[in-house]
Structure 1
Amino acid sequence: MKRNKIALASAAVLVAGVTVLAGCSSSGSNPKPSADTGNGNTDPKAIITASGSEPENPLIPTNTNEVGGGKILDSIFAGLAYYDGSGKLVNDMADKIEVTAPDELTVTLKKGMKFTDGSDVKADNFIKAWNYGALFSNKQLNQSWFADIEGFNAEADSELTGLKKVSDTEFTIKLTSPVAADFATRLGYSAFYPLPDVAFTDMAKFGENPIGNGPYKLAGDGAWQHDVQIDLVKNPDYKGVRKLANGGLTLKFYTSYDAAYADLLGGNLDVIDSIPDASIATFQSDLGDRAVNQPAAIFQSFTIGEWIEHFSGDEGKLRRAAMSMAIDRESITKTIFNDTRVPATDFTSPALDGYQKSLKGGDALKYDPKEAKKLWAEADKISPWSGKFEIAYNANGPHQAWVEAVANSLKNTLGIDAAGASYVDFATLRAAINAKDADGKRTFKTAARSGWQADYPGVYNFLFPLYSTGASSNDGDYTNPEVDKLLAEGASADTPADSVKKYTQVQEILVKDLPAIPLWYQNSIGGFGESVHNVKFGWNSVPLFEDITKDKTK
């Protein structure tokens, strides 16, 4: 399948003293909209309904690193910049983001931007929010996103000394290494959103009823009905570049995509961004030109923590490699997913520059039952296998069928007891994965489904957050000094080609260590109802909610 390429900005393009973004508007080539853009009888006040999932945590930008909460944050907050439908970085609260030195950026804010409580969006709102996210005692999931800023300390309450206020509308960012150009490309991610002053009086309370500065805002008290839905309405005070074509957005939290798809077919839901297993073979014929099946920057895997019995040291490497080679990815993507997935050949995505179709050592990602059995036997010589192997997944997503298929591959090839382990929803699964004992050690005892839906369109984003030491989404607690070193070198490289070389070296290490076992790349698959128009899915598989229009109610 032909894939669209999304360019990765680099120091070769964004040299010292050159403006990265200055007064940009969204003019990139967005994904193709739905064929029917309305009949001229759309309602600008209409509320769009879409599928979602209960956020794992209160809605604090620096503590949200999952898709359900991320959809909401991206709707109610506006950062310095955002990524449009094609992955282009577009200024929002920032008037200019300048690379003034290889290790320094200067940010100039637009004037007149406000939070929904009427307070101004100032430099301090970014500086205080980022410092809150970086402080060790706050235990924020996105803490590692601030690691490149001078003063960062992952294990102490250290102020980000690299953040300096120049005025209410200007601040500078001093970095610990010459990665300013790459760092600028990350600033559309939600971890870098500003927070109003009121947030710091009671962050827990704020997270339940957040005050943002984005195109949508919470509809009022009680707008977030936990495990049911969240109601957002148009924010009339938002003066950024994202223009709303509707009056609001309701994200419904489904316990299964079967129920969501049934609501879509029944006219009770406008947009769905995933299709249940049982309908993958038929959804395109069911929906016709209202079906969505397009490339996206999404990678699927499962992760086995090195603290789990039989998966540490040399034994663990042998068992991971054996499991990887025991999985028939071609058959699963064809029979389970009806070719809406593509077997993985690396740890990134074909939607990105730097993707590797063939890695040195990549045979570990190919189905080879004979070699798998051999490696498993070698591991047994170190320590005989015992127990049951389980892959945890959330039952409110379309995962049961593929988890069971992978478990069956392992069972049939390796002769072990393998099965899926169901958790009621994504928030419950993530809480279990992140749980730690009094000594700070993870207590999760099984493998778990993992993967990545890109935060920004760069290969670095698929590697650093998942595999660098102590990173926010490093579920397996993987650590390798050489990987850390190469990632840093790639981020500070002079050209895109040099960056790709370093990141490819990282992947050649990963394919040996297998901190996660790559499975396949996921397309954006979804659909929309008959009464909505101009529906587009972005580069990262999230619908562009602000563009959607809806017919007037008759």
Structure 2
Amino acid sequence: MMIESSPNNLDLRVGTDAQSERIGGLVFDALVKKDEHYDLQPWLATSWEQPDPLTWIFHLRDGVQFHDGRALSADDVVWTIESLIDPAHGNLITSKSGNFASVTSAEARDRLTVVVHLKHADAGLLFNMSDGLFGVVPNGSGRDFGLHPIGTGPFRFISGVQDKEVLVERNPGYWAGEPKIERVRFAVVPDAITTALELQKGSGDLESNAITLDMVHALRNERNLATETGPSSVVVYMNFNVQDPILRDRRVRQAIACAIDRQAIVDAIWRGKARLANSLLPPEHWARAADSEMASYPHDIDRAQRLLGDAGFPARKDGIRLHLTLKTSTDETTRLMAAILQQQVRSAGIDLQIRSAEFGTFYSDVTKGVFQIYALRWIGSNEDPDIFRYAYGSASFPPKGGNRGRYSNPRLDALLQDAAGSSDQSERRKDYVEIQQILAEDLPGIPLWYPDNEVIHSQRVDGIKPIGAGDFDYLRSASLRTPH
């Protein structure tokens, strides 16, 4: 299988990039697992209850083993949680600690029972213990655990070479059923054209959303290949550094939104295979505000120019009003998108410079706040409304969360706290609708679109069914056809 970049850290307590969460999701098991409607189902935890708003009790599955033969117990779950909330446990520094900020402590009541104590009610905690976001590690696992991860998942880690490959093989004793595929090599192929050629030649078996839609279209007639398509929960977005002297004024951010013709980009790059996004939440989500409830920014160059003029940026003789820089990875689709954005916003008088870097360097800059604007995707974590706390809450500045643009709004923080403390879904929805209305007005970032899942695979691979977040979960049940 060909992937665009190396995972940053296969320890799911630390890794937040797509490759870490997708490959890590095969090596580790979570306490609960999302179904196709984003409802949470039993996994390593067979059941759970809340005797009061500040206490969760989890009952673990018996007979589960780590890849090294150790039996899973409550002590392992307790260590995993405690290491996320207390640096003394494993000396771990991770942005995911913010997901567990409500947790005071975890304790093992007996071998298979875990009790989690909270400082305050947190309705989003269970989602943060789900697949891709959370993986139970053995008791005592420290900060270098990601170099040689040991989980309970369907595949066990064999080796990894930065910028080259990650090798996993099936876990023959997997409690949920042994995978049919014996071994998977995740080959790092940053260049989309090379990925397409490897598929065409038959030297690569599988790619997931790693090549442009033009290439997908071109490969449809290859007899040795098949394409699987489905709607996606992944959202492509742009984010602003709101501490920046130019971007501090929301009228500038709104002007950029007006200058972008999103549908034209979807038609040009995605061949229409994407849905426009006005929120980070997927369209089907229970907490998503309706488009009619939020401020919108249809393509309107005149409005963009008025907003920039009002913000104190008159047009010079050459028509340019201001200069900005957009940082992206070297991903081919993202670079194409950036090139079109550059042309579109120039019509409003914005000179947009593009700075592309390989993913590790780009992501490092993003988390350090070394950017004016960047483009990325939320993958999986936007299937829970807690994404708004993680991405835009005042307490979520890195390394404690993903609020990389340093946006802060007291009303938004109060609504987030209220929503997290309520178990009434209709009340939570009211809070989240207002949160989305504030974000649509302030525009610390621009949700762009939800691209369809496009997976191309060789005909010798069977059972590939892509789902919402674009994860690699189908490798659990996929098989290889016997050659005739």
Q: Same fold (TM over 0.5)?
A: yes
For residue 521 of structure 1, report the CA deviation from its aligned partner.
Answer: 1.7
Query: Is 1:212 aligned to residue 151 of structure 2?
Result: yes
- The residue identity in structure 2 corresponding to 1:430 is Y
Show the counterpart of 1:421.
Answer: 355
- The residue identity in structure 1 corresponding to 2:406 is D
- The residue identity in structure 1 corresponding to 2:418 is E
| Partner deviation per Cα, 1:224-275 (whole Å, 9 max, x = no partner) | 0211111100112322x25522212221111122221221222122221115
Show the counterpart of 1:451.
Answer: 377
Distance in structure 1 (CA, Å) of the matches to 2:360 and 2:52:
41
Q: Name whichever of 325-334 and 245-254 sits farther off.
A: 245-254
- The residue identity in structure 2 corresponding to 1:238 is Y
Q: In 2 relative to 1, CA 249–456 (structure 1 residues): closer, same or farther, beyond 3 Å?
A: farther
Which of the pair has the greater relative contact order for Cα pairs under 8 Å at 6+ separation? Answer: 1
**Residue of structure 1 aligned with 2:437, choices 502, 508, 516:** 508
- The residue identity in structure 1 corresponding to 2:117 is K
Show the counterpart of 2:76.
Answer: 125
Give the alignment of 1:21-32 within 5 angstroms. none
**Residue of structure 2 aligned with 1:464, choices 374, 383, 389:** 389
How many residues are aligned here?
Answer: 472
For residue 507 of structure 1, report the CA deviation from its aligned partner.
Answer: 0.6
Query: Is 1:530 aligned to residue 480 of structure 2?
Result: no
Distance in structure 2 (CA, Å) of the matches to 1:125 and 1:538:
30
- Output the TM-score relative to the length of structure 1: 0.79
For residue 486 of structure 1, report the CA deviation from its aligned partner.
Answer: 1.1
Q: In 2 relative to 1, CA 362–146 (structure 1 residues): closer, same or farther, beyond 3 Å?
A: same
Distance in structure 1 (CA, Å) of the matches to 2:276 and 2:39:
27
For residue 196 of structure 1, report the CA deviation from its aligned partner.
Answer: 1.4
**Residue of structure 2 aligned with 1:178, choices 121, 127, 140:** 121
C-alpha contact (below 8 Å) 2:171/2:179 kept by paired residues:
no
Runs of 4+, deviation exceeding 4 Å: 381-387
Distance in structure 1 (CA, Å) of the matches to 2:39 and 2:479:
23
For residue 218 of structure 1, report the CA deviation from its aligned partner.
Answer: 1.5
Show the counterpart of 2:134.
Answer: 192
C-alpha contact (below 8 Å) 2:213/2:271 kept by paired residues:
no
- Output the TM-score relative to the length of structure 2: 0.90
Show the counterpart of 1:10.
Answer: none
- The residue identity in structure 1 corresponding to 2:393 is S
Query: Is 1:69 aligned to residue 12 of structure 2?
Result: no
For residue 511 of structure 1, report the CA deviation from its aligned partner.
Answer: 0.9
Q: RMSD over aligned Cα, in angstroms?
A: 2.5
Show the counterpart of 1:108.
Answer: 59
- The residue identity in structure 2 corresponding to 1:208 is L
Distance in structure 2 (CA, Å) of the matches to 1:119 and 1:167:
17
C-alpha contact (below 8 Å) 1:454/1:462 kept by paired residues:
no
Distance in structure 2 (CA, Å) of the matches to 1:183 and 1:244:
30
| Partner deviation per Cα, 1:322-380 (whole Å, 9 max, x = no partner) | 101111111111122110122222232214233334244522x3212111100101112
Q: In 2 relative to 1, CA 418–342 (structure 1 residues): closer, same or farther, beyond 3 Å?
A: same
Distance in structure 1 (CA, Å) of the matches to 2:40 and 2:314:
50
**Residue of structure 1 aligned with 2:415, choices 486, 492, 496:** 486
SS in 2 for 1:331: helix
Query: Is 1:265 aligned to residue 197 of structure 2?
Result: no
For residue 81 of structure 1, report the CA deviation from its aligned partner.
Answer: 2.0
C-alpha contact (below 8 Å) 2:282/2:383 kept by paired residues:
no
C-alpha contact (below 8 Å) 2:282/2:382 kept by paired residues:
no
Fraction of identical pairs, as percent: 18
For residue 174 of structure 1, report the CA deviation from its aligned partner.
Answer: 1.9
Distance in structure 1 (CA, Å) of the matches to 2:132 and 2:22:
10
- The residue identity in structure 2 corresponding to 1:482 is R
Distance in structure 1 (CA, Å) of the matches to 2:334 and 2:411:
33
**Residue of structure 2 aligned with 1:388, choices 323, 328, 332:** 323
Distance in structure 2 (CA, Å) of the matches to 1:244 and 1:307:
48
C-alpha contact (below 8 Å) 1:85/1:537 kept by paired residues:
no
Query: Is 1:256 aligned to residue 191 of structure 2?
Result: yes
For residue 514 of structure 1, report the CA deviation from its aligned partner.
Answer: 0.9
For residue 193 of structure 1, report the CA deviation from its aligned partner.
Answer: 2.1
**Residue of structure 1 aligned with 2:6, choices 36, 54, 61:** 54
